[in-house]
Amino acid sequence: MCCFVFISIGKNDGSGSGEGVLLKRIAVYGKGGIGKSVTVSNMSVALAQQGLKVMQIGCDPKADSTINITGGDRISTVLRTMREKHDRVEIEDIIIKGDFGVYCVEAGGPPPGVGCAGRGIITAFEKLKELHVYEKIKPDIVFYDVLGDVVCGGFAMPIRKGYADDVYVVTSGEMMSLYAANNIISAVRSNIERGYAQFRGLILNKKNVENEEDIVRKAAEEMNAEVLHVIPRDSIVQEAERQHKTVVAAFPDSKQALIYKELSRKVFGD
Amino acid sequence: MIDYIMSCLSLLNRVSEIESSKDIIGRLHCQSSGVICPLHGVMLLNELFEDTATLIVGAPECVYYPQVGTLIRLDNPTLSGIYTYVMDENDVVFGSADGLKIAAQAVLEDPEIAALFLVSSCVFELIGDDLRAISADIANALGKPVFPVHTSNYDHHCPDYFKAIERMLEAIAPVLSKQETIPHSVNLLGRIFHGNAKGSLRQSELGAMLEKNGVTINMEFPSRVRLEHIKQLTAAELNIVTDRVGIRLAKIMQEKYGIPYVLFESTFSHQTIEETYLSIGRFLRVAWQDEVSRLSAHTKERISEVSCIVEGETIIAGCLPPDPFQSVAFLSKLKMKPLVVASACLSRGSEEAIANLLKAGEDPYVIHACEREPMEEALKTLRPRFYVGHAPHEKVSALGIRHIGCFMAEPEHLGFRSIDNFLLRLESAAMQTPAEKGCD
């Protein structure tokens, strides 16, 4: 199902509302390894299957957010392309259409231990703006899949005015994951008056911790947050990954796919 | 205008309120990018090495200063040896290692260049680029020494250019190797760079005393030198550190080559000078006690004489060296009335000097040395009789203030003679008054 082709700007490819109205911009944060990219990719494909024009922007130097939408292929990151092509970067160089027409972008970043990944996110976002990516593609929904904790200003970029409107945090019942969630929520809430994005809820991606749901609901209460959705642990996720696909694409009728679809409806609205 | 100035002064701390360098506040937190910037020190020291080059990496605005400063300072700037690598956006995001390797290769291709100082600046340090690793990689690839020098506003407590000089001297230590010791020999490590100070430490009282007593001055460092000759530093029996910029290198030489060091910096303490001379004499087996005592007694006598002339006179002071608090404490010992002291930070000896000042009943304002405007306003408002520090001479004189230049701003200002020299200038300025003061 992967249509791994360069996009053609300006042509109606038949997907999406085509209205040119960006309906939702959503940032998804959470501790590293918690399942953000899997969750976001499944939501992206689920919404694209409904005919929406979806863009997913990975904001992690590892540049693997969209890998299960592109059939396992690594796409050229914004920063790598900028480095190679300098001022000659075109939209086609950095945006790839994946499964069900999801527009895939990876901001990219430096190798571990070198340079400034936070500055990289800012630079990549500036390039997307400079190329008028949102105006030209006119997505109905943009997902920002952001690395771990908000470690510096660069990683807060997606929640600043002009980018995401809503923020969701993926967590499990593990303490470190909840700790990270609390930090992210605090960062978002403390900047709300500046026009930053609004925190909308926690997404529990279960790791089979004992009493996990209770733990997370209690923590959510303390954080004055809502647990928007619970994603059970299921080996079907790993099975789909082995095929370099999302669960929604690989096993569309599975229970897990329905759970992701339900989550995407909650996030996007009916 | 006066209201404004007075309110400006009222914002300042007085000496009694200074507990750490952070208490030395200015009206502004921004600082001159000129002589305060560590890259200024890099530029100055680079000029002394004949066959090394310096590659400074940073934002365009940062590397502009040493590059253009060099163009202005030298008759033939193409031979300056200063190269700059401007970090672009890719360097900031991905690190500058790749670009620096290419730049360093281009510089080191010149067979006349024996080694490279690779100097960082703020942006490079903020993104955490690994200067040491990059330097080692370049050195391995190109077969010439590459000395990493970290300079950044954020990694030390006293932003000034001495730090960069100190670090450059320390960075060069790996080229040293043990040489045969020259008996009865010393190195003079560190020198004054203030106000484009020229001259040689050999011309100082210390230099003259050493030579007169048969001590060989193995090297004066830093001074104009080629890389291969720097190795010769380890032939000395003793390092005499004549300015704080030489301390780190002296410590390395002590640890690695067993060469002890003694501090002999500019100071207004004739007791300290006397003790240090005697300490050097004991180590080098030089019997100069009598001469040292005679010089010390003469200085002590001069202090007493000049004190009678300047007693009760007001003064504003602030320049290096010595430590400004120590200098102002000395002025109070002369029974002068210090109104303002300018300093960038506390240094070794500041604490004792502050205690002495307060003990003498003096509590002057403290102005941050990096700010020019408050000092100008203080001079206009407080109208002291004397001013010691950097400022256009005509401007100071126009206010009716006697400008005495700096305390000890030449390399040869070491030893008792440096105190005598200042006293002579102070005395001379004081005696210009219509009603000359004198001692009974």
Q: Does B125 touch chain A (CB under 8 A)?
A: no
- pLDDT tens sequence for chain B (440 residues): 444 445 567 788 999 999 988 888 877 777 776 777 888 889 889 988 999 999 999 999 889 888 888 877 766 666 678 999 999 999 999 999 999 999 999 999 999 999 999 999 989 998 888 999 999 999 999 999 999 999 887 766 556 788 899 999 999 999 999 999 999 999 999 987 766 667 788 889 999 999 999 999 999 999 889 999 999 999 999 999 999 899 999 999 999 999 999 999 999 999 999 999 999 999 999 999 999 999 999 999 999 999 999 999 999 998 888 999 999 999 999 999 999 999 988 888 899 999 999 999 999 999 988 777 788 888 999 999 999 988 888 989 999 999 998 888 777 788 999 999 999 999 999 987 544 443 44
pLDDT higher than 90, residue A101: yes
Q: Rounded CA gap, B410 and B200, in Å?
A: 9
Which H helix or E strand runs over B307? helix B289-310
CB atoms A115 and B93 under 8 Å: yes
Residue A94 CB contacts under 8 Å (≥ 6 apart), including other chains: A75, A76, A77, A78, A81, A105, A127, A131
The residues near A213 (Cβ < 8 Å, ≥ 6 apart) are: A173, A204, A206, A227, A230
- Maximum distance among all Cα pairs of chain B, rounded to whole angstroms: 74
Instruction: Please give the pLDDT value at position B411.
Output: 72
User: What domains can be seen in chain B, in order of their start residue?
Assistant: 2-29+298-430 (3.40.50.1980), 38-164 (3.40.50.1980), 185-290 (3.40.50.1980)
What is the average pLDDT score of chain A? 89
The whole-number average pLDDT for the span A10-22 is: 42
Q: State how far the Cα of B355 lies from the Cα of B334, in Å rounded to an integer.
A: 16
Q: What is the ipTM of this complex?
A: 0.76
Please state, in angstroms and rounded to a whole number, the distance separating the CA atoms of residues B333 and B321. Answer: 18
Residues of B in contact with A114 (CB under 8 A): 94-95, 97, 129-130
Tokens of B157: 């407590």
What confidence score (pLDDT) does residue A14 get?
A: 35
Catalytic residue among A64, A149, A206, A234: A149
Q: pLDDT tens digit string along A237-253?
A: 999 999 999 999 999 99
pLDDT computed for residue B44 by the predictor: 87
pLDDT for A270 equals 64
Residue type, B308: C
Is there a catalytic annotation at residue A36? yes
> Are B185 and B217 spatial neighbours (Cβ–Cβ below 8 Å)?
yes
Q: Which residues, in sequence order, are CB contacts of A38 under 8 Å at separation 6+? A: A68, A205, A237, A241, A246
**Tally of CB atoms within 10 A around B304:** 11
CA distance B89 to chain A (A): 8
Which of B93, B130, B134 should we substitute to test contact with A (largest number of A Cβ atoms within 10 Å)? B93
Q: Closest Cα to residue B406, out of B344, B320, B334? A: B320
For chain A, what percent of residues have pLDDT higher than 70?
90
- Provide, as residue numbers in chain B, all residues whose Cβ is less than 8 Å from the Cβ of A109: 93
Collect all residues with Cβ–Cβ distance below 8 Å to B275 and sequence separation of at least 6.
none
Closest residue by Cα to residue B144 from B225, B73, B53, B80: B53
How far apart (Å, rounded) are the C-alpha atoms in residues B242 and A188?
55
Flag if B95 and A79 touch (Cβ within 8 Å): no
Average pLDDT over residues A190-201: 82
3-state secondary structure of A30: strand
User: Cβ contacts (< 8 Å) between B131 and chain A: which residues?
Assistant: none
**For residues B336 and B151, is the Cβ–Cβ distance under 8 A?**
no
Tell me whether strands B52-58 and A227-231 are parallel, antiparallel or unpaired: unpaired
Residue of A59, A114, A151, A155 to mutate when probing chain B, most B C-beta within 10 A: A114
Q: Catalytic: which of A24, A31, A53, A261?
A: A31
- Does the annotation count A266 as an active-site position? no
| Cβ pairs A/B, distance under 8 A | 40
CA distance B247 to B319: 21
Question: What integer pLDDT is reported at residue B155 of this predicted model?
Answer: 67
What is residue B321's predicted lDDT score, i.e. its pLDDT? 86
Q: A5 vs A1, A101, A134, B318, CA distance in Å?
A: 12, 10, 19, 69
Q: What is the pLDDT of residue A12?
A: 32
Whole-number Å distance between alpha carbons of A27 and A168: 6
- Annotated active-site residue A62? The verdict is yes
| Amino acid B47: pLDDT | 86
Looking at the complex, report in whole angstroms how far the Cα of residue B130 sits from the nearest Cα belonging to chain A: 8
Q: Chain A: nearest CA to B125, how far in angstroms?
A: 10
Question: Is residue A232's pLDDT more than 90?
Answer: yes
Is the Cβ pair A119, B93 closer than 8 Å? yes
Closest alpha carbon to A150 in A118, A110, A178: A118
Please answer yes or no on whether A110 and B94 come within 8 Å at the CB atom. Answer: yes
Q: CA torsion, points B276, B281, B287, B289, in degrees to nearest 10? A: 10
Q: Report the alpha-carbon distance of residue A169 to residue A29 in Å, rounded.
A: 5
Please give, rounded to a whole number of angstroms, the shortest distance from the CA of B95 to a CA of chain A.
Answer: 4
Q: Residue B69 class from Cβ within 10 Å (0-12 exposed, 13-18 middle, 19+ buried)?
A: buried
Q: Locate all alpha helices (DSSP H) within B47-160, ordered by sequence.
A: 60-73, 89-94, 97-108, 122-126, 131-142
- CB under 8 Å to B50, separation ≥6 — which residues? B224, B225, B226
pLDDT digit string, tens, across residues A127-153: 999 999 999 999 999 999 998 777 788
For the domain bounded by A21-262, which CATH number is listed?
Answer: 3.40.50.300
* Surface-to-core class of residue A19, CB atoms within 10 Å of its CB (0-12 exposed, 13-18 middle, 19+ buried): exposed
CA angle B206, B207, B208 (to 5 degrees): 90
User: What secondary structure does DSSP assign to B135-183, as a single string?
Assistant: HHHHHHHHSS-EEEE---TTSSSS-SHHHHHHHHHHHTGGG----PPPT
Closest to A109 (Cβ–Cβ): which among B89, B93, B97? B93
